[in-house]
Amino acid sequence: MKYVVCIPDGCSDRPSAALDGRTPLEVADMPVLDGLAARATLGRAAVIPDGLPPGSDVGNMSIFGYDPTRFHTGRAPIEAAAMGLRLGDDQIAYRCNLVTVGADGTMVDFAGGHPTNEQAAEIIRAVDDELGGDVRFHPGVSYRHTMVAPITWADADCPLPHDLTDRPIQHPRGPASAHLVGLMEASREIVARYDSAATQIWLWGQGPQPVMDSFEDRFGVSAGLVTAVDLVRGLGVLTGVAVHDIPGATGWFDTDYAGKRDCALDTLADGADLFLIHVEATDEAGHAGSAEEKVRALENWDTLILEGLVKGLDAQGPWRMLLLPDHATPIDLKTHVPDPVPYLVVDSHHDGIGGVYTEAGVADRPLVAGHELMARLVRR
């Protein structure tokens, strides 16, 4: 038996006037997904437990099968693991975005214009050269980077940059806030020297590195994953899931969907039991407030991943698939919300009761804890 987990990040939504009161899942033309849903088991998953922030760190941890109420310590330490950073007991990590703040103090773009990895790395290295010391800055992917700081800097309430889109910025508060605000403000002069849409760094998502048991020990299967996002890579590193890289994985609308599909099929054919395919494009479209891009990203999932994936899995033998997002990112809000998300589990040899894979289509289905779905998927 082969297992595949498909994660269209942030694809769940709320009815939007831009789509005549429908959601992107209801509008997108996805015949392969429709066919899978017609013979699948569908339901609603609470991927964001009560009291935790509705972020990709919490949601993807749930999808991996780990209860975030037990294992979650913050977003940044997970991403730090993806970068090969092992934090000491006296250290924490902060997520360090490159952002664009307007002259009027409005968060224009939490992603700093989506710089290339090379452009961003040059800026972050300069920030580290001039502001490093008690802290160190490490370049990551596009606008997403990491700062390692003393554990005494942990106590701060840091607004999430993607929650501030088109709004006046709010600085961190709390005992450690003076350190953070000082660095963020000092970064403006450094970032301004570069030909970039970004204007400064933004620090948030701090915490110590979590200790997580191995995925194979937990579920009895070997696993791999492909993603362009350090957060998901970090979960792989922390749980012993093999992380695979492909050149065209960008974390943006132009990511290589087909390359991720082929990576999954090749890895499974080479002997892995389970593979996770993560695509960020639907979430980025939600943050951009673009109904058109979110629908297009969903349709790319159908034509460029699911169609060939199902055919390839059929050629390898029996298989089971779990498909769900890590949270909802409504296009009208441009940020994450903790709504339950639709999930689908389909078996190549056994039919479920079937249904429609949309938010409304599963509204009357049972609600399950998101972290319980992985164990259901791989049950013997």
Residue pLDDT, tens place only, 121-180: 999 999 999 999 999 999 998 999 999 999 999 999 999 999 999 999 999 999 999 999
What confidence tier does 379 reach under pLDDT thresholds 50, 70, 90?
confident
Q: Which two tokens stand for residue 304?
A: 């460029």
CA 375 to chain centre: 21
**How far is residue 8's CA from residue 18's CA, in Å, rounded to a whole number?**
21
The rounded radius of gyration (Å) of the Cα atoms in the chain is 20
**Fold of the 2-72+212-377 domain:** Alkaline Phosphatase, subunit A (3.40.720)
Residue 236 near residue 85 (C-beta atoms within 8 A) = no
pLDDT on residue 141: 87
pLDDT digits (tens, 9 = 90+) for 64-81: 999 999 999 999 999 999
pLDDT on residue 380: 53
Phi-psi region of 263 (alpha: psi -120 to 50; beta: other; left: phi over 0): alpha
The full set of domain ranges for the chain reads 2-72+212-377, 80-207
